[in-house]
Each structure stands twice: as structure tokens, then as C-alpha cells.
Amino acid sequence: MPTESDTPLKLSKKKIALAAAALTFLGLITGCSSSDEQASDVTELTIYSGRSEEYIAPFFAQWEAQSGIKLNIRYGDSAELSAQILEEGSNSPADLFLSQDAGSLGAIADAGLFMALPADVAAQIPANYVAANRNWVGITARTRVFAYSPDRLKTLPISVTDLTKPEYKNQIGIAPTNASFQAFLTAMIQSKGRDFAKSWLEGIKANGPKIYLKNSAIVEAIDKGEINIGLVNHYYVWEVSESLGRPVKAKIGFFAPGDVGNLINVSGAGVLATSKKQKAAQDLINYFTSATTQQKFVTDTHEYSLFVGAAAPTDLPALDKVGAPSVDLAILKEVKTTQELLIEVGLL
């Protein structure tokens, strides 16, 4: 054992006392962090953010400056954070959950952990991007697309079902653990049936796909030449170019109009029913859905504004021109079926 190497290591009493003091100190500083303020004098909000820090932090900072309220932000994957909220249940310290997709929001709404938002919150967001019972609201839109290598991919797919064809063998990248992929698959199950989705997944699996943890990794893999095509959200090609500081060797493609592969999903937010600071959390949602912030999303993060008639991000068709399938976002919460299917097929 490593432990038997007779290292001359003496823990002096002083050091032990010091460590004990440190322990007490840590206990003290952390013990002070919980408090229950009145709605009028909220000084802090706890946010669980499924949106990554790099692009959303400036928005949070702006609101902090405007409102004078400090945000404690817990960044993570949307699905992981919603798992954490489900595990925490009514004990969750979160006030607001900001998610990358409608599915994670729907799961929490289903568990009854979100409050119904008043009608004056996010009033300008069209009803088709808001949960029927106003448990959550959409903030920005993103479309599913395929990213591909213009140099190496010979034939562009017309439909997402084309990807099971032999000509794409060993060239595809997917991220089955990612919420946005699961949302797309949920839409497929709900619109075309479970059997259709199952055989599509089996076809993809038989086509030797490379599995990635996130969308950006897929775009990077196309850039590196690891794969030639991958299913991602529209803004990742732009995002990876930004982080690389050079144009990425990948392009965006849309499937034929109406194809389920062109699904429009939203990022959105809901306020926890157990939050003691619901008013302040709603103010934050109003900030995200204000005209100026919506425009800021289009220019700064390359996402679509949810406002009717808003301009599209650079180099992209308008939201009503992408040929999205007609899918009710409410069904995206049926992600449990999707995950069971992914497990059954062996992609999870």
C-alpha cells in the first residue's frame, strides 16, 4: 500500500487546531448564505442556468446592474440541472430555472415545481412559445439543423431520415445525452410515432455514428475532420468559430421544409413554486423578454428573438422561413419516452 511508505509526516497539534478552526470558519460562512427575505427587499436570487456561462453571463450582469439584485448562478447542463431540481423537490434552493430547451422546463412543470406566471410576465412572447398553464415562458428560439463539412460531404440529406442511408456510414455525429437532441427526437416520436423513431434510431446506430457529449463537440469534430455531418442547434457553428477565433470548417444546412429535423425549440425560464422571491424572479424574466434584450440575443448570441417579425441573426433565414415542422412545444416534455427509447436502442 502507498500508505505504508514510512513518510515522516507529523501533524502537530498546532496544525490540527488550525484545521479545526478552518472547518468552523467554513461552516460559518456557508451557514450564513441562506436567508428568507421579504419580496420588497430582495438582495439576492439563486439561478440554475442550463445556458452556458460564456454567453449568458453578460445578460445576468446587465440585470444585476439594473436591479441591484445579486445573482447566485449555478451553471450546468439543462438536463442535469433539471435532474437536480427534481431530486431536490420542494427543498430546492433555486428561485428561477433558465433552460436550454422546452423539454427540461416541461419535466419540472409536470412535477408541479413551477408556479403559474401572471399574464403581465413576458406579455409580448407569442402564446405558442409559452406553456399552456404559463408554468414557463420561451425566451429565445433555436432551430435544429445539420452542420456539415462542405469539403467532404458529397450529398446533402433532404430529410433527417436520409442519414440512415449507407452513404453516410461512419460520418455522422450525434449527442444523444444532450437535451436538444432529445427534444428533436421527442418531436419525431410525437409526430411520426414511436416505431418510426425506433427504426430511425436503429438505422442511425447501425450507421456507425460518433457519440459526443455536446453540440459544440460535434462542430469541432467536423472542423477536425473526425466526422462529416452532425445534428446540432443552428448557433453552434457560429459559437465554435468565435471560440476558435477563426472561421470553422463547417456549414449549416436545413432539411426540406416541414422536416422534423428542422425543429424549432426554445430556451426558456420558469419560477420555482417554492421560491420566496418570485416577484424578483419574474422581473428577471421580463428583462429577458424585453425588446432591447431580445435584440441583444440576436446580435450577441446569434439566436432568434421570439418577437413576431423580429430580424433573424446574420446569414440565417427568418424564423418563419426555416421550414420548421408544426410541433406543439408542450409535447417536448414527453422526454421520458424518448429516453426510454434511447436506452432501449442502446444509445444511452
Partner 1 sequence: MVTTTPNATHNWPAAHTSSQRAWRVGLNVAVGVVAALSLIPFIYLLVRASDKPFSEISALLLRTKTLEVLTTTALLVTCVVVITLTLGVAIASGLHFVALPFRRLLIIPTVLPLAIPSYVFTYTWVALIPSFSGFAAAVFILSLSTIPYIILATLAGLRSVDGSQIEVARSLGLNYRQTFTRVIWPQIKGHVSAGALLVGLYTMSDFGAVSLLNVETLTVTIQNMYRASYDRSAAAVISFVLIAFSILFVFGDEAIKRRSAKGQIVKTFSVKNSLIRKNYLRVSITAVILIFTIIAVIIPFYVLFSRFFSNPVPIDYTDLARATFATISVAAVGALIALLLSAPIGLLLSGKMTKFGQISNKIIVIGHALPGVVVGLALVSVGSKLGPLYQTTLLLAFAYALLFLAKSVISMSSSLARVPSGVKDVAATLGMNPWSVVRKVIAPIAAPGIGVGTILVFLTAMKELPATLMLRPTGFETLATNIWSAGSINRFNEAAPYALILVLVAAIPTFLISRPDHDDRAYIDNSAGGDK
5 near partner 1, rule: CB under 8 A: yes
Distances (CA, A) of 323 to 79, 127, 311: 27, 20, 16
Q: 230 with 172: CB under 8 angstroms?
A: yes
DSSP-based helix, strand, coil % in the chain, nearest 5: 45, 15, 40
Q: Tell whether residue 74 is a contact of partner 1 (CB under 8 A).
A: yes
220 binds partner 1 (CB under 8 A): yes
Asked whether position 245 contacts partner 1 by CB under 8 A, the answer is: yes
- Residue 119 interacting with partner 1 (CB under 8 A): no
CB of 223 vs partner 1, minimal distance in Å: 8
Nearer to partner 1, 320 or 340 (CB): 340
- CB of 2: closest distance to partner 1 in angstroms? 3
Per CB under 8 A, 79 contacts partner 1: yes
Q: Report if residue 68 touches partner 1, rule: CB under 8 A.
A: no
Q: Among residues 42, 60, 77, 142, which is the contact residue for partner 1, using CB under 8 A? A: 77
Q: Of 42 and 319, which has the nearer Cβ to partner 1? A: 42
Q: Which residue has the cell 446540432?
A: 232
Instruction: Select from 94, 98, 55 the least CA-distant residue to 268.
Output: 98
**In this structure, how many other beta carbons lie within 10 angstroms of the beta carbon of residue 72?**
13
Helices (H), the chain: 13-31, 53-67, 78-88, 102-110, 179-192, 194-206, 215-224, 236-244, 278-288, 291-300, 335-345
By CB under 8 A, residue 22 contacts partner 1 = yes
Neighbours of 245 (CB within 10 A): 6
Provide the grid cell at 33: 448564505
What are the start-end ranges of the H helices in 12-52? 13-31
Neighbouring C-beta atoms of residue 99, cutoff 10 Å: 27
Give the residue from 90, 164, 140 showing the smallest Cα distance to 285.
140
Residue from 96, 102, 107, 260 that binds partner 1 (CB under 8 A)? 107
Is residue 31 at the binding interface for partner 1, with CB under 8 A as the rule? yes
The binder of partner 1 chosen from 37, 53, 167, 320 (CB under 8 A): 53
Distant-in-sequence contacts of 32-35, Cβ < 8 A, 24+ apart: 34/93
Is residue 150 a contact residue for partner 1 (CB under 8 A)? no
Q: How many chain residues bind partner 1 (CB under 8 A)?
A: 69
Neighbours of 189 (CB within 10 A): 23
Least distance CB 34 / partner 1 (angstroms): 5
The residue range among 27-35, 132-140, 288-296, 311-319 that interacts with partner 1, by the rule CB under 8 A, is 27-35
Position 278 contacts partner 1 (CB under 8 A): no
207 binds partner 1 (CB under 8 A): no
The single residue among 156, 273, 330, 348 that binds partner 1, judged by CB under 8 A, is 348
> Given the rule CB under 8 A, which residues bind partner 1?
1-11, 19, 22-23, 26-27, 29-31, 33-34, 46, 52-53, 72-77, 79-80, 82-84, 86-89, 91-93, 104, 107, 176-177, 182, 210-211, 213-214, 216-217, 220, 224, 226, 240, 243-245, 335-336, 339-340, 342-344, 346, 348
